[in-house]
Structure 1
Amino acid sequence: MAKMKGVVIVNTERCKGCNLCVVACPLHVLSLTKKVNQKGYNYVQQTLEDTCNGCSSCAIVCPDACLTVYRAKEA
């Protein structure tokens, strides 16, 4: 069976730093940054680039639809 690889794209200006996606990620791929967006919120970022499997748990729980997850088979 082919291994799946995922990438999380974050709309940093919409993110309010609620931390729900960080908690929902089973592989602990996401974390809040110390940087703030224009609204003054810390936003989330993908910190472990090669670990994400594209399960989309983070995007499902995001109340503001800030996350887009892309998934592809690893070669």
Structure 2
Amino acid sequence: MSLLTKPNELTNEKTSQQDIEAKAEYQKQLSCQEIAEVAYFKAEKRGFLPGYELGDWLEAEKEVSLT
């Protein structure tokens, strides 16, 4: 067993980590989009009355996290 890491093994490991990070970022963006859509429909049901934006967003976060 060698204590040295081959360059291609290190590259593959970094690429794998980059893939994981890219997938995590994609999921985060997707979640934000889903939350925004749910919050939008909540506001639409109320006729877009102002003052409920934060509540809509927080409720939408809960709903999206349950799915």
TM-score by length of 1: 0.23
Structure 1 or 2: larger strand share? Answer: 1
- Structure 1 or 2, whichever has the larger Rg, is 2
Structure 1 or 2: larger helix share? Answer: 2
Structure number with greater CO (CA < 8 Å, separation at least 6) is 1
